[in-house]
Amino acid sequence: MNKDQAYHQIALACLKALRNPTAADAEDQIQMLYKVIDQAFEQQFALVLAELEDCKARLSQIESLDPAHNTLADAQAISSHQGTAH
What's the start-to-end Cα distance of the chain, in Å?
Answer: 5
Per-residue pLDDT tens over the stretch 32-50: 888 888 888 888 889 889 9
How far apart CA 18 and CA 29 sit, in angstroms, is 8
- Residue 23 DSSP code: S
Interior CA angle at 35 toward 26 and 42, to 5°? 160
- pTM, to two decimals: 0.60
How far apart CA 12 and CA 6 sit, in angstroms, is 10
How far apart CA 83 and CA 75 sit, in angstroms, is 16
Residue ranges per structural domain of the chain: 3-80
Low-confidence ranges of the chain (pLDDT < 70): 1, 21-24, 26, 82-86
Q: What was the pLDDT predicted at 58?
A: 95
